[in-house]
Amino acid sequence: MSFLGRVAARSLRLGAARLRILPTQRVSEVSLNDPTEREAQKLLESGTQKLEVGDMEGAMADYRQSIQVHKNASAYYNLGICQYQERAIKSWKEALTIAPDSPDAHTNLASAYIMSKPPQGELALYHLKYVSGANFRTAAELSPDDGEIQFNLATVLEACEQLEEAIHAYKKAKENGIDRADQNVRNCMAKLMAARVDIERQERELKENQK
């Protein structure tokens, strides 16, 4: 599971739990002697490959065709995940047209985008740090005393490699009662230090090559 996937699974309190995609039919569903089941399996695998690269429409088409060729629970299950995510995103976007300052809707959208295939970290970050009129605002600023929202913002910032901002947000989360943020602060600081060391190494190598 990718880092962004782990973020979705452990951190976003309002988002749905991470849903597992089934790449193959269950053993009890498959008969290698039945050509229709083999074809259904190929379509199921094709749909999952498309979902992995973010082709939601293509994935749903393959899952539906897999079901038409030979009904199988795995294709129905994966189709349900696609429909759930697609409809959830649409509904939360509609909520924002009515209540654009809703921290809950922005946080849920961030969760959905992180769980999408492939994960869309920048869109997730946009919904935790967004522009409203002429003023730059964030979901965390709308709920400054909500430690979970601060933690959610921090995890997305970390996933997008914005480590200094992530450290600040994790510290805010800790101040607002999220004790587990302590470990995340340490992890981010270690990453930041490693990144700086790597930059210094690259600069030294560049100077050596220029001699």
The residue ranges of every structural domain in the chain are: 3-204
- Is the pLDDT score of 197 beyond 50? yes
Cα 203–chain centre separation: 33
What's phi and psi for 54, nearest 5 deg? 90, 10
Q: pLDDT digit string (tens) for 131-149?
A: 333 344 555 666 667 787 7
**pTM of the predicted model, to two decimals?**
0.50
Residue 12 pLDDT = 37
Q: pLDDT digit string (tens) for 28-82?
A: 445 556 788 889 999 999 998 888 777 888 999 999 999 999 988 888 888 887 8
Residue 136, classed as helix, strand or coil, is strand
Sign of the torsion formed by the C-alpha atoms of 186, 189, 195 and 196: negative
| Cβ burial 68-95 (10 Å sphere, 16+ → b, else e) | ebbebebbebbbebbeebeebbeebeeb
Other beta carbons within 10 Å of 158: 24
Confidence grade of residue 98 (pLDDT, cut at 50, 70, 90): confident
Residue 11, classed as helix, strand or coil, is coil
Residue 65 pLDDT = 95
Which residue did the predictor score with more confidence, 210 or 44?
Answer: 44
Q: pLDDT digit string (tens) for 138-190?
A: 556 666 677 877 887 788 788 778 899 889 989 988 998 999 999 999 999 99
Residue 2 pLDDT = 40
CA distance 83 to 51: 12
Confidence grade of residue 1 (pLDDT, cut at 50, 70, 90): very low
Per-residue pLDDT, averaged over 191-195, amounts to 92
Which CATH number is associated with domain 3-204?
A: 1.25.40.10
Per-residue pLDDT, averaged over 99-103, amounts to 79
Q: pLDDT digit string (tens) for 15-28?
A: 333 345 555 554 34
Other beta carbons within 10 Å of 22: 16
Alpha carbon distances (Å) from 195 to 162, 189, 200, 201: 12, 10, 9, 10
- Is the pLDDT score of 105 beyond 90? no
